[in-house]
Amino acid sequence: MNRNREMMLREIQELDFRVQDLRLYLDTHPQETAAAEAYNTAVKKGKAMTDHYEKLYGAVTPTGGGDATARRWVEGPWPWQSYKAGKEEGAYHVDV
Q: What is the pLDDT of residues 56-82, one digit of tens each?
A: 888 887 766 665 555 665 666 666 676
Cα–Cα distances (Å) from 43 to 10, 27, 38, 50, 55, in that order, read: 15, 16, 9, 10, 18
**What distance in Å separates the CA atoms of residue 75 and residue 79, rounded to the nearest whole number?**
12
Which pLDDT belongs to residue 87?
A: 47
Which pLDDT belongs to residue 57?
A: 84
Which pLDDT belongs to residue 92?
A: 43
Higher pLDDT, 54 or 37: 37
**Residue 77 CB contacts under 8 Å (≥ 6 apart), including other chains:** 1, 83, 88
Which pLDDT belongs to residue 52?
A: 92
**Predicted confidence (pLDDT) at residue 44 exceeds the cutoff of 90:** yes
Give 87's strand partners. Answer: 84
Domain ranges of the chain: 3-88
**What distance in Å separates the CA atoms of residue 95 and residue 80, rounded to the nearest whole number?**
14
Q: What is the pLDDT of residues 5-30, one digit of tens each?
A: 899 999 999 999 999 999 999 999 99
**Predicted confidence (pLDDT) at residue 90 exceeds the cutoff of 50:** no
Give the number of other Cβ atoms within 10 Å of residue 75's Cβ: 9
Q: Which of 42, 44, 53, 47 is nearest to 15 (CA)?
A: 42
